[in-house]
Amino acid sequence: MHTLDALTLANQIRRRDLTAFEVAKHTLSRIDADTNNCFLYTTPETALVAAKRIDARLEQGDCPSPLAGVPIAIDDTILVRGDRCTAGSRMLDNFISPFNATVIDKILAAGLIPVGRTNTDEFGVCGSGDTCYHGITLNPLDSSNLAGAAAAAISSRLVPLALCADTLGAQRKFASQTGTIFLKPTYGKVSRFGLVPYISSAEQIGAAGATIGDTAALLNIIAGYDPKDGTGIPNSDLIPPEPSQDLRHLRIGIATDYWTTLGRTGTATLTETRERLTALGATLQDCPLPQQQTDILGMASMALQIIAAAEGCNNFSRYDGIKFGYRPQTYATLDDISINSRSESFGREVKKTILFGSFVLAQQQYEAYYLQALKIRRLIQQQLAQALQTYDCLLIPASTGQPYHKTNPEANARQCLTDTHYTAPATLAGYPAVAAPSPAVTQERCGIQFIAAPNNEQILFDIVNLSTTDSLIP
Amino acid sequence: MTEDTLDTLAAFNKLRLSSHERQTLYKELTQLLDALAPLSSADTSQTEPMIQVNPLGTVMREDTVIPMVSRAEILVNAPEHDQGYFLAPRVLE
């Protein structure tokens, strides 16, 4: 049953060919046997109780959603009431969530079964996969390399779905490298209430799955205005349940400059993708989006690093070891608690983020770095908006395709900055994006990424649904 | 960035760096700043900064209390507490 996609699994549970209880038990036993360190811990008691409750409702013909009874993994940056939530940091190693994130309330109401918490980079910082306090997660397609834990959990068929936060874009990059899908919604479409904050103005909770249909179904459940999130957009459109039959109505802009810089990997992936999309009736045209270092889009990664550090520096200032978080063994004064707590529990990348963020916000540097990054952000959004007046979506790589080796954190940190070049534009603009594996270039996983205008997730869904029919998950 | 600046920032952010951390972070941060040099070449003189991506303006809500979390649930995470209050070392003699 673990090889089934989420919608098929839900259908079988709804028809009572399977019970949610037996699916949850099977899932938990497979997670226990996992050797890639995808999960930090599982929640068997609450999962099995929830599964029994859904089974009872389904027996009465009461089906709360198309995904009722399906197990789901939750990223360790999203609060689930009564569960530990560490955000991958020693600082929060013993933190118990006092309330549910809004997305958790929504998936529970929809009858999904949270089974455990997936590993994460510390507070989502860096995104290389090797800054987590709880150790690295290995890529199930190649265990000499790292992967994001949610993507790895889906790729190794531990769970069919996961909720996780897209911060610098690592979820899209790792989806493309694990044969899975990650759908980053429009900023403000999904409530961030209950997400451990890092880049408040850009990060979004998104849907990870083995198929685009699964991620679209999950997005339909978690999307919607939440008065608890002041950045939410009212009247967010959802994705209709019936997909298009072809792509004849779509014009896709190929951001050629991004592909040519990847050399053979980019050319092979683009050629294959172009053939598939053309066969489905889409109109493809080269879209001039220059992205060299002196071009505005070439500065997206730089601008995102500055904004991320500035916002991260402020968000991480709440951790002082007084009200919650790591309390040091020795201290004499109030200051000692904060200094020892932060110095002993934050990892190196978080400390670097804090120091860098503080630097760019200082009066002497504010205009040259932070203000300049915010202005470049507006220019990036304008460039994407202009391109998306001509095209329904843009096609760019999801990453360079270079793997993250499990024993080389310094090279990984550098690689991460390079890969952020491909994910930063959609992140900074707040536009929806979906990352999928390269259809046939299985050894060179730069992946494909489609970016659409705000609230146009339907277009992303149609394209990936029709163009990536072959699963790359074993 | 100078090493003195790094020390000031660390103190400001209540971080104590080991000599190894200080050395490594200084090197990485100066490299990072070097890599950001192209930013200054962008002409942004006519551009307004973008703080939020959606044109929402200032979002207000009613100033009403909505019960959500009990005091006891909050204090579960407090390293030290007493009679419903957080405990911290004395700051006034």
Condensed to tens digits (0 to 9), the pLDDT of residues B33-64 reads 999 999 999 999 999 999 999 887 788 888 99
Quick one: DSSP state of residue B19?
Answer: H
Closest CA to A280 of A137, A473, A413, A439: A439
Euclidean distance between CA atoms A122 and A134, whole angstroms: 9
Q: Which two tokens stand for residue A429?
A: 């603009």
Q: Which residue of A has its CA nearest to B12?
A: A358
Is the predicted pLDDT of residue A185 greater than 90, yes or no? yes
Contact at CB, A359 and B29, closer than 8 angstroms:
yes
Q: Output the pTM of the full model.
A: 0.96
* Least CB–CB distance from A334: residue in B39, B79, B88: B88
Token pair of A361 as six digits: 């916000």
Do A375 and B42 count as a contact with CB atoms less than 8 A apart?
Answer: yes
CB A180 within 8 A of CB A473: yes
- Residue A290 confidence (pLDDT): 83
Chain A positions touching B80 (Cβ under 8 A) are 327
- Residue B91 to chain A, least CA–CA distance (Å): 7
Name the minimum distance, in Å, from the CA of A230 to any CA of chain B: 6
B13 vs A313: CB contact, 8 Å cut-off?
yes
A274-330 pLDDT, tens digit per residue, is 998 999 999 999 998 888 878 999 999 999 999 999 999 999 999 999 999 999 999
Is the model's pLDDT at A262 over the cut of 90?
A: no
Q: Do residues A432 and A172 make contact, with C-beta atoms less than 8 angstroms apart?
A: no
Interface test with A, best of B7, B54, B65 (most A CBs within 10 A): B54
**Are the beta carbons of A376 and B39 separated by less than 8 Å?**
yes
> Please, how many CA atoms are within 13 Å of residue A194, restricted to the half-sphere of its CB?
31
CB contact under 8 A, B77 and A327: no
CB pairs under 8 A between A and B: 160
Question: Which pairs count as long-range contacts for A12-20, CB under 8 Å and 24+ apart, including other chains?
Answer: A13/A54, A13/A58, A13/A68, A13/A69, A13/A70, A14/A58, A14/A63, A14/A68, A14/A69, A16/A58, A16/A59, A19/A51, A19/A55, A19/A69, A20/A51, A20/A52, A20/A54, A20/A55, A20/A58, A20/A68, A20/A69, A20/A111, A20/A113
Q: Which two tokens stand for residue B31?
A: 């490299």
Chain B nearest CA to A202, separation (Å): 8
Distance from CA of B85 to the nearest CA of A (A): 9
Q: Please name the residues in contact with B71: beta carbons below 8 A apart, sequence gap of 6 or more.
A: B84
Q: Under an 8 A CB cutoff, do B52 and A231 touch?
A: yes
Which is more confident, A419 or A474? A419
Whether the CB-CB separation of A122 and A132 falls below 8 Å is answered with yes
ipTM: 0.95
Torsion of CA A382, A447, A456, A77, to 10 degrees: -90
- Average pLDDT, stretch A414-431? 94
Under the banding of pLDDT at 50, 70 and 90, the label for residue A14 is very high
The lowest-confidence range among A44-48, A197-201, A244-248, A275-279 is A244-248
Give me the residue label for tokens 């070439």.
A298
pLDDT of A441 > 60? The answer is no
CA-based end-to-end distance of chain A: 14
Cα–Cα distance for residue pair B61/A350, rounded to 1 Å? 33
Give me the mean pLDDT over the A242-248 stretch: 83
Highest mean pLDDT among A54-58, A279-283, A399-403: A54-58
Which residue in B13, B24, B41 has the most chain A C-beta atoms within 10 A of its own C-beta, making it the best mutation to test that interface? B13
User: CA B24, CA A117: separation in Å to the nearest integer?
Assistant: 32
Chain A residues closer than 8 Å to B14 by CB: 320, 335, 338-339, 342-343
Averaged confidence pLDDT in chain A:
93
pLDDT value of residue A409: 84
3-state secondary structure B40-56: HHCCCCCCCCCCCCCCC
- d(Cα A148, Cα A174) in Å, to the nearest integer? 6
Q: Is the pLDDT of residue A439 over 80?
A: no
What pLDDT, on the 0 to 100 scale, is given for residue A64? 97
Q: Which residues of B touch A378 (CB under 8 A)?
A: 47-50
In which band, very low, low, confident or very high, does the pLDDT at A467 lie, cut at 50, 70 and 90?
confident
Backbone angles phi, psi at A94, to 5 degrees: -110, 15
| pLDDT computed for residue A466 by the predictor | 86
- Position A440 scores a pLDDT of 61
CB contact under 8 A, A96 and B41: no
Picking from A245, A176, A174, A185, the residue whose alpha carbon sits closest to that of residue A215 is A185
- 3-state class of A434 per DSSP? strand
